[in-house]
Chains A and B, each alone.
Chain A
Amino acid sequence: MKDEAIYRRLFRTALLIRLVEERIIALYPSDKIQSPVHLSIGQEAVAVGVCDALRADDLVFATYRSHGFYIAKGGKLDAMFAELYGRKDGISGGKAGSMHLAAPDVGLMGSSAVVASTIPHAVGAALSFKRRGGDRIAAAVFGDGATEEGVYHESLNFAALMRVPVLFLCEDNGLAVHSHRPIRQSYRLIEHAAAYGIAGRRLEEGWDMLAVRQATLEAAAHVRSGEPFVLEIATSRYKEHVGVGEDFHFNYRTTDSVDAWKRRDPLIVDAKLVAELSPELEREIDAAVAYAEASPAPGRLELLTDVI
């Protein structure tokens, strides 16, 4: 019963993320959102399960594919749409857009379009927690491609040396833009982390929100005790790398893997709950879009503020 209540809570947020991104797809041809978007449709369970397991005062450092983490961490929908629209009332006044979403007030500290670049930020933030005592933690969220960057390895090394409370969270969708993991990686992530003395775990059931939540709770408990941890979660990106369409017609991947994922995707399988919750969530999205539509565009004054 308790699990049922948690499932419903997670499901609601995951569905909100999917409906938000489907709305972005619907709005995109109107050209009101004039910037690249990287959709997380198919990956929602990771953001939702992870953020539910984290505490409100834990911090997340994320990537350009972070609409899901923004919403799951508690970011406001109206400020998000206004940001995508590039309006004054956007979370960063239109200066961030989709790729640099940040909502420090709810603990999403930033996201970056340069792969792996926010990983060391989480290590630095974790140091601040260690200094002040307490058991808050910082989570670095990144894709499987990011683990090929030197900064990932260097961050593991330094986090292990400093023994800071940082959770390294890999969303493994098996793709770096259009390149498959086997041609990119000579290592297995969890074995590799062990070389730094960092414990880790791979979760295959990345569609299962409750499993993600449970795995994150366990990983976070380890991190709260003062040791870094690597949590690798398998997931699936349904849409193209950037943009609102699909990319199967380029023949670099087949629909098979995605179809297998879709057959287990609660946001598809649990159609009854989708039908029950969608109307209310759509109204929330309607309100957020209306808010963005009504917000004025920023001007020269805004251009020149907050530079230095």
Chain B
Amino acid sequence: MRKLDYAGAIREAMAQEMERDPRVFVYGIGVPTWSSIFGTTKGLTEQFGPERCFDTPICEDTMTGFGLGAAIRGLRPIHVHIRVDFMILATNQLLNMVSNYIYSTGGKLKVPLVVRAVVGRGWGQGAQHSKSLFSNFTHIPGLKVIAPTTASDVKGMLTAAIRDDNPVICFEHRWLYWAEEEVPEEPYEVPLGVGRILRPGRDVTVVGLSWMNVEARLAADILYKRGVSVEIVDPRTLAPLDEDLIVESVKRTGRCIVADCDWVESGFSAELAARISEKCFGRLKAPVKRIGFAHTPCPTVRELENEFYPNARTIVRGIEEMLGLEAANLDGEDFFSHERRFRGPF
């Protein structure tokens, strides 16, 4: 099978759905420009015309309302935000209008709207280009929320999202755009609401969100060399959550670390930890542990970023502590390869 990176998989999902269904269109600030949202919308205007892939004025909330109006009329808009931090300017429409439109009309109208939002990180992104805010959206009934980790998942899940009659918010971590793997060429759906075991293991479950699954894999490799078997569960869809998959995993391993790509306080990790504690109470050998951003605004300078973001080392140390193991010497391990790779400005 051919290999494709995450950005290419996003582009392919949208292109194939636009090909299949003339009602699908994609729009957002900068979408058809040369930078094309890191290549994810590249060539779509040329292929489908400026009516189906277009730029917008800088007014996120209005453009979300515009998408809602088009969606209830049977079109299938994909609205793209180059940062989650900019999507929050659309909070009125998303939380007051989009999320309750189906409900308020007693199911008479459907809202097949997809909103893509990029989570930024590194090289000085700072406080306003780095947010995830998963729980701000999973908190709201009426929204589906997805955060695919792998290239094959993002293609299948975005395809499913575009075909879904409900509003779906898709969180895409900027650093995942390079992640390359075998991705089927034909269109396919990965169903929303179904999680995935990224790596089977026996001793501890790491529930990873978005980028933190990359860190969890590195942590699992390191611990494997020390005889610890880590299971990684990627919920993929945050709402509605595949609770059963997570609960079954934690019941098997008896231990769980939730590795969120977000702040810990009142974050999605709190929801996961609460559910796991409730459903696995008698089977837990240790309290559920949560890992996430430091509770500060995201700093700009690299030295502070290194302290702000959790990484594989944080997960390794968390697991060692949970299993009562001595802290291993990690001097030979490389924890910052991605930080070195990423160069801005975006």
Please determine whether chains A and B interact with each other in the same assembly.
Answer: yes
CB pair A109–B109 under 8 Å, yes or no, is yes
A119 within 8 Å of B by Cβ?
yes
Chain B residues with CB below 8 A from A119, complex form = 62, 65
Considering the chains assembled together, what is the distance between the CA atoms of A5 and B56 in angstroms?
Answer: 46
Whole-angstrom distance between the Cβ of B55 and the nearest chain A Cβ: 10
Q: Mark A109-145, 1 if CB is under 8 A from B, else 0.
A: 1101010011111111111110100000010000000
Considering the chains assembled together, what is the distance between the CA atoms of A93 and B108 in angstroms?
Answer: 11
CB pair B69–A122 under 8 Å, yes or no, is yes
A214 within 8 Å of B by Cβ?
no
Q: With contacts A154-B59, A158-B57 known, is A306 near B103, CB below 8 A?
A: yes
A308 within 8 Å of B by Cβ?
yes
CB pair A121–B72 under 8 Å, yes or no, is yes
Chain B residues with CB below 8 A from A123, complex form = 62, 65-66, 69
A307 within 8 Å of B by Cβ?
yes
Max chain A C-beta neighbours (<10 A), residue from B51, B69, B71, B75:
B69
Q: Please pick, from B51, B65, B73, B106, the residue contacting A93 in the complex, using a CB distance under 8 A.
A: B106
Considering the chains assembled together, what is the distance between the CA atoms of A155 and B68 in angstroms?
Answer: 13
B32 within 8 Å of A by Cβ?
no
Q: With contacts A117-B96, A124-B68, A151-B65 known, is A306 near B107, CB below 8 A?
A: yes
Considering the chains assembled together, what is the distance between the CA atoms of A288 and B77 in angstroms?
Answer: 39
Interface residues on B, range: 35 or more
CB pair B105–A151 under 8 Å, yes or no, is no
Chain A residues with CB below 8 A from B68, complex form = 120-121, 124
B136 within 8 Å of A by Cβ?
no
Chain B residues with CB below 8 A from A102, complex form = 104-105, 108-109
CB pair A124–B70 under 8 Å, yes or no, is yes
Q: Please pick, from A129, A131, A158, A308, the residue contacting B66 in the complex, using a CB distance under 8 A.
A: A158
Chain A residues with CB below 8 A from B57, complex form = 154, 157-158, 161
B323 within 8 Å of A by Cβ?
no
CB pair B102–A61 under 8 Å, yes or no, is no
Considering the chains assembled together, what is the distance between the CA atoms of A109 and B101 in angstroms?
Answer: 10
Chain A residues with CB below 8 A from B72, complex form = 104, 109-110, 121, 124-125
B141 within 8 Å of A by Cβ?
yes
B43 within 8 Å of A by Cβ?
no
B144 within 8 Å of A by Cβ?
yes
Chain B residues with CB below 8 A from A61, complex form = 69
Chain B residue with Cβ nearest A155:
B62
A213 within 8 Å of B by Cβ?
no
CB pair A104–B166 under 8 Å, yes or no, is no
A211 within 8 Å of B by Cβ?
no
CB pair A308–B101 under 8 Å, yes or no, is no
Q: Mark B50-91, 1 if CB is under 8 A from A, else 0.
A: 010000110101111111111111110100000000000000
CB pair A128–B59 under 8 Å, yes or no, is no
Chain A residue with Cβ nearest B56:
A158
Chain B residues with CB below 8 A from A92, complex form = 104-106, 108
A96 within 8 Å of B by Cβ?
yes
A246 within 8 Å of B by Cβ?
no
Q: Mark A181-208, 1 if CB is under 8 A from B, else 0.
A: 0000000000000000000000000000
Considering the chains assembled together, what is the distance between the CA atoms of A291 and B69 in angstroms?
Answer: 32
B92 within 8 Å of A by Cβ?
yes
Q: With contacts A121-B68, A131-B75 known, is A150 near B106, CB below 8 A?
A: no
Q: Mark A58-69, 1 if CB is under 8 A from B, else 0.
A: 010100000000
A305 within 8 Å of B by Cβ?
yes
Chain B residue with Cβ nearest A117:
B97
Interface residues on A, range: 35 or more
Chain B residues with CB below 8 A from A105, complex form = 108
CB pair A308–B104 under 8 Å, yes or no, is no
B240 within 8 Å of A by Cβ?
yes
Whole-angstrom distance between the Cβ of A6 and the nearest chain B Cβ: 30
Considering the chains assembled together, what is the distance between the CA atoms of A90 and B70 in angstroms?
Answer: 26
CB pair B96–A124 under 8 Å, yes or no, is no
Q: Please pick, from B62, B96, B142, the residue contacting A308 in the complex, using a CB distance under 8 A.
A: B142
Considering the chains assembled together, what is the distance between the CA atoms of A93 and B178 in angstroms?
Answer: 48
Considering the chains assembled together, what is the distance between the CA atoms of A18 and B20 in angstroms?
Answer: 50
CB pair B106–A121 under 8 Å, yes or no, is no
Considering the chains assembled together, what is the distance between the CA atoms of A131 and B74 in angstroms?
Answer: 11
CB pair B103–A120 under 8 Å, yes or no, is no
CB pair A121–B69 under 8 Å, yes or no, is yes
Considering the chains assembled together, what is the distance between the CA atoms of A154 and B240 in angstroms?
Answer: 33
CB pair B106–A91 under 8 Å, yes or no, is yes
Whole-angstrom distance between the Cβ of A186 and the nearest chain B Cβ: 20
A262 within 8 Å of B by Cβ?
no
CB pair A96–B97 under 8 Å, yes or no, is no
Whole-angstrom distance between the Cβ of B18 and the nearest chain A Cβ: 14
Whole-angstrom distance between the Cβ of B22 and the nearest chain A Cβ: 9
Considering the chains assembled together, what is the distance between the CA atoms of A152 and B73 in angstroms?
Answer: 21
Chain B residue with Cβ nearest A96:
B104
Considering the chains assembled together, what is the distance between the CA atoms of A114 and B67 in angstroms?
Answer: 18
CB pair A117–B105 under 8 Å, yes or no, is no
Chain A residues with CB below 8 A from B132, complex form = none
A95 within 8 Å of B by Cβ?
yes
A224 within 8 Å of B by Cβ?
no
B93 within 8 Å of A by Cβ?
yes
CB pair A125–B69 under 8 Å, yes or no, is yes
A-B contact pairs, 23 of them (CB 8 A): A95-B104, A95-B106, A109-B109, A114-B96, A114-B97, A118-B97, A119-B62, A120-B63, A121-B72, A124-B65, A124-B70, A124-B71, A125-B69, A128-B69, A128-B73, A138-B69, A150-B59, A154-B62, A158-B59, A305-B107, A306-B103, A306-B107, A307-B142
Contact surface of A with B, Cβ cutoff 8 Å: 59, 61, 90-93, 95-96, 100, 102, 104-105, 109-110, 112, 114, 117-129, 131, 138, 150-151, 154-155, 157-158, 161, 305-308
Give the top 5 A-B pairs by smallest Cβ distance, nearest first.
A124-B69, A120-B65, A121-B69, A306-B107, A154-B62
Beyond A92-B108, A104-B109, A127-B66, list 5 extra A-B contacts (CB 8 Å): A110-B109, A125-B72, A151-B62, A306-B103, A306-B106
